[in-house]
Amino acid sequence: MSVTANEIIKKLEQTAPKELCCEWDNVGIMAGDAGKTADTVLIALDCTEKVIDEAAAKGADMIITHHPFIFKPIKNLDYSSPLSRRIAKVIKNDILVYSAHTNLDIAYYGTNYTLAGLLELQNVKGLVPMGGGAYMGRIGELNKDMTFSELTTLVKNKLCAEHVTVNGDMSRSIKKVALCTGAGADYDFLLCAKKMGADAYITGDVGYHDAQNAEELDICLIDATHYLTEVIVVQTLYDLLSSAFKEVKFIKSDIMGQTLNIV
């Protein structure tokens, strides 16, 4: 029995309802026909040109991503633009692209849920209230006391990170950890973490002044990169959808993201 893209989308939106997304965001169908049959589906963090090529080579009917590749209004389809080329390529290859972004960050079975689970946090709660009982980020307790140095090693091991950037006393005892995947170093987020008793905060895309704010709030800070804190949701989506649609072939993308490396 064949499965349509619409059926897969319905399952995704039960997990991460579109109405959870931030008002500035763009989620849902980026391009394509949701009524088409989806026998093979590629799951990736981003819909880059390499990911589209991978999907086409593997015969994928649909690409599911976390980050939307169409984010702002489009004024033209000039093929000298990388975005225009990507749009043309998915249309040419008849591939539906669907993205779940901030709604997947907020959702119970999303990016922050996944990272909290990887770190085996206990008594996990929402971090930043977004209205309607929804929260961005998570906060919980480590299953054992450890130093900030030991927490840093745990994060590196769980995310397969060769390097992370840290700020704080490496010998400090850490019990309660707050986190927000992607770019979550906003001062209001750090303040929520402080008010809820966090000893350490994990996120990505940390700027110079973000680190200053964390230090002034007396919170140890780990920048584990935007990419590594969020690519983990590919496995979560794969597990969720594979169990729901046995007749569909789901593939995790082999394309790595564009991360900054220390050389």
Query: Model confidence over 234-253: pLDDT tens digits?
Result: 999 999 999 999 999 999 99
Euclidean distance between CA atoms 186 and 209, whole angstroms = 10
Q: Which pLDDT tens digit goes with each residue over 145-166? A: 999 999 999 999 999 999 999 9
Give the percent of the chain with pLDDT over 90.
Answer: 97
Give the residue-averaged pLDDT of 131-150.
Answer: 96
The pLDDT of residue 68: 97
Give the residue-averaged pLDDT of 185-213.
Answer: 98
DSSP letter, residue 222: E
Q: Which pLDDT tens digit goes with each residue over 81-110? A: 999 999 999 999 999 999 999 999 999 999
The pLDDT of residue 263: 45
- 10 Å CB burial of residue 210 (0-12, 13-18, 19+) is buried
How many alpha carbons lie under 13 Å from residue 85 in its C-beta half-sphere? 10
Mean per-residue pLDDT over the chain, rounded: 96
* Alpha carbon separation from 255 to 8, 79, 98, 187, 234 (Å, rounded): 22, 23, 18, 33, 12
**Confidence category of residue 224, pLDDT binned at 50, 70, 90:** very high
Euclidean distance between CA atoms 95 and 229, whole angstroms = 27
The pLDDT of residue 260: 52
The pLDDT of residue 258: 58
The pLDDT of residue 119: 98
Token readout for 22 is: 């931030």
The pLDDT of residue 256: 82
Give the residue-averaged pLDDT of 178-197.
Answer: 98
Give the percent of the chain with pLDDT over 70.
Answer: 98
- Lowest mean pLDDT of 52-56, 69-73, 172-176, name the range: 69-73
The pLDDT of residue 261: 54
pLDDT at 257 over 80: no
Domains of the chain: 5-103 (3.40.1390.30), 108-226 (3.40.1390.30)
